[in-house]
Chains A and B, each alone.
Chain A
Amino acid sequence: MELNQLTAHVILGKLKAREVSLDAVYAALYARILKIEPQVKAYVRNNKEPVLPLESRPDSLLNGIPVTIKDNICTEGLNTECCSKILEGFRPPYDATVISKLKDSGAGIFPLKANMDEFAFGSSTENSYFGPTANPWSLKHVPGGSSGGSAAAVAADEAIWALGSDTGGSIRQPASFCGVVGLKPTYGRVSRFGLIAFASSLDQIGPITKDVQDAAILTGIIAGYDPKDSTSINQSVPDYTKSLTGEIKGLKIGIPKEYFVEGMDNEVKSIIEEAINKLKNLGAVTKPVSLPHTEYAVPVYYIIATAEASSNLARFDGVQYGYRAKSNNLIEMYKKTRAEGFGDEAKRRILLGTFALSHGYYDAYYLRALKVRTLIKQDFDRVFSDFDCIVTPTSPTAAFKIGEKTLDPLKMYLSDIYTISVNLAGIPAISIPCGFTKAGLPVGLQITAKAFNEEMLFRLAHTFEQNTEWHKLKPKL
């Protein structure tokens, strides 16, 4: 295997044993990028970014291993544009906290940023100002979104590992579509300082990796209290690698009946059922449970998330940074800049969110949505008082074709149905590969646990992974 095809933990071993050099790792990555990027397009602004110095840091935890960063995480000295025209040229004068933490651990920040749906608005990476990323398993299919670039890069070995962000499934769904591991940590577990906000009460940064061990390592590094983030929890971070025990005997798993209904692809259904059987064979106990407010999750999400987004994106107005349209006066500048700088999906969401907060509609929409959110959280609390975790499909289907859902925004929104409730409840969830459709597209299994119980996720996911072969398969690119 080439160096770029290995997991981070294996490369780390080789680096520490002086079997390979950091230069060789980068060389392998760049060679792979040169070869397949024209087809995959996982990265953006290739050739326009400055080349960052290679720091070897042999005595550090991560020994200089590069991490690929999604384009909505601020990196000092490296453009961070959320793949939107309105932020073109923005070079942050500061690092996101997760970036500082990575640097402190000795990681390298990969100089190319990963493609994404503009401002994380999307489930396919088709809303990027730079054009869509292709799924490495099938170039005519989407990689998922909004962290499609990160997931595709990891799946295609154009990255060793990556960071994405997840507001309604944007790490887990692309991980599922690309056959890799993706974790959304508990809300408050990882600092949001430096993550360009979509929905402040839902966003979290998380790892996208080739196996669960890498996810455990990366999560351990980026997690932790940040005094610059008022919504960051002051709780110590456990050593997640200790959760990789390899056994799950007696664990109680809930299977929510509301998740196995109409609209679910039959192939996906049978693959998931097989995966659940595997878990049973490994010693877990499964039982049906009910999350009765599941059907309200998508509507609630699209009220709360767009309301918060409409306010978070108000700052993009051409005054201090980014794109500014030609205009004769201030109001014209605002209106033209935002009309020309935002893509269609961004405009749709901003308008929807503005509407939900507007005078006369606040009670009927925003306030009601906040109440239903309470009910959704309570559904999970009830189940977790009896069960160790919940297992579901990550997505009702495998990857769809590029262009298939772009004409119908509502159809696109509904594909988030299994991931969204997790963000609303603020709990952690992981997606791991668990099979392939006949067309050769990956299917992901989602495991959810109660708040701050990432250890449960790593334990179950790792055990499943080590007893299957899915994580070893690579696309034929």
Chain B
Amino acid sequence: MNYETVIGLEVHLQLKTKTKAFCACAIDFGQAPNSGTCPVCLGFPGTLPVYNKAALNSAIKVALAFDCQIQKHTKFDRKNYFYPDLPKNYQISQYDLPLSRNGHLMIASQDAPKRIGITRIHLEEDAGKLIHEADASLVDFNRAGIPLLEIVSEPDLSSPQEAFDYLTGLKNILEYLDVSDCDMEKGSLRCDANISLRPQGVKELGVKTELKNMNSFKGIKDALTFEISRQTEMLQANQAMFQETRLWDADKGETVSMRSKEGAKDYRYFPDPDLTVFIIEEPMILAIKADLPELPEQKLRRFTQEYALSAYDAEILVNSKNDAKFAEDCIRKYPGSDKKAIVNWLIGPLLAEANYRKVKLHELNLDKDELIKLVGFVQRQEISFLSAKNVLTQMIASQKSAQTLIQEGNLLQVSDTGKLQEAIETVIGENEKSVNDFKAGKTNALMFLVGQVMKKSAGKANPKIVSDLISRRLS
């Protein structure tokens, strides 16, 4: 029996507004515990919430970026449950009239781009942090009240890889919007997964398992992979499946059941009477839309059209907002309308340098003007491509100019055919066997002869020109 996988992802995103969702406490990580709080975010008796305008704007931006429908009348609801990190023992969230619904995100799939639906994006507030000790738990409310967005996907993902791609795509767009740090390690982006298996061809969803405690995109992929094999085994052995929550143990590489005694939770949602309704009118939406930065998909299209990049190349550049800016700055500075050369350098040697140094493209310690000059040297065939790559490495390491490094390395190629002829004649004279081999059709012989000329010129001859000259000379 073949089973297919159905995955849905629930992402919680901290917005990087200056202050919290419902009070004016500054959001400042790294503060001493409970020193970034006030009576409101502590939930002291008598306090009341007032929502942060910037958080609402950011939220609408995100909703628009994922093509969601904005709910004209939206409101906050109270989600009631008891836990020590929840100051009021209810979370201000949204239930039946969320800010936005029915969006989507495209991911690259095997054959064609795949549409992953986004069920809803809604507003809520973060809880405090708990530290568990042997006989007690300690609570720090600095994080309580930070504005969150909850982004819920449709169960449209069919594999752990798709889940991974969805998250990277999501993060990319969110970075473009500059609304969050999107850092899973720091906790500004958290993700839970829902997974179920069903026999191929069956329409009904299987029994759902909720997965928590993943701390990285890779962790999510691994946890889902583990779950698929665990559940497949169970289904094939005809074991009963029941709805549960499991925690990912990254060290052991397995999921563990939470085994909670409570049945389905009753959150007793009701509209929060301390907050007004929010009416989001067209003019407001249009104003925010007009203010949206160019998003990855648009930039991709523009790069392929404006700079004649292939989709493949464009996608590599567009994958990070700052990288895309860096690349575009370089492309714009590059003279002339044919940008192929600079693009090849960005995608080739520069990306290689970045990967090697384990940084992003835009983080390379490189002056863009110098890069352009370097490419110019190669285009004019004044240095070889190989030499130029080495110069690039040195430019990044030493911050010296291209010109300086080329002079220091004595790298200027000889392309003057006159000068090259001399060396060529000498080599032809000294290597009769290879000359005969070449005339007999062995192409290796040509390479050998070119090599000899390179030796004679201490590597400075332009190999391509030498090759041409020899071919012509001997034909």
Contact = CB atoms under 8 A, between A and B. Distances in A.
State yes or no: do A and B come from one complex. Answer: yes
A334 B86 CA distance: 13
B50 A90 contact: no
Interface in B96-131: none
B48 to A, nearest CB: 5
Contacts of A201: 273
B274 to A, nearest CB: 5
Interface stretch (A11-19, A51-59, A92-100): A92-100
B46 A311 contact: no
A235 interface: no
Q: Which of B49, B90, B137, B274 has the most CB of A within 10 A?
A: B274
A282 B384 CA distance: 108
A90 B45 contact: yes
Contacts of A228: 48, 50
B46 A196 contact: yes
B155 interface: no
A197 B46 CA distance: 6
Given A330-B84, A357-B80, A314 B48 contact: no
Interface in B138-167: 139
Interface residues of B, number: 29
A93 B44 CA distance: 9
A196 B89 contact: no
Interface residues of A, number: 43
Contacts, number: 94
Contacts of B80: 311, 314, 357
A406 B411 CA distance: 101
A402 to B, nearest CB: 28
B89 A94 contact: no
Nearest to A314: B89
A48 B80 CA distance: 36
Nearest to A318: B84
A374 interface: no
Interface stretch (A29-37, A236-244, A358-366, A437-445): A358-366
Contact of B39 (A93, A199, A227, A311): A93
Given A311-B80, A317-B82, A358-B268, A92 B87 contact: no
Interface string A206-243: 00000000000000000000011111000000000000
A308 interface: yes
Contact of A231 (B45, B84, B269, B276): B276
Interface of B: 39, 42-51, 78, 80, 82, 84, 87-90, 137, 139, 266, 268-270, 273-276
19 contacts: A80-B45, A87-B45, A94-B39, A194-B46, A194-B47, A196-B45, A199-B273, A200-B273, A201-B273, A230-B48, A230-B274, A311-B78, A311-B80, A316-B45, A317-B82, A321-B45, A357-B80, A357-B270, A358-B268
Given A73-B46, A315-B45, 11 more contacts: A94-B44, A192-B48, A196-B46, A230-B275, A231-B48, A311-B80, A314-B80, A316-B45, A317-B89, A319-B84, A320-B43
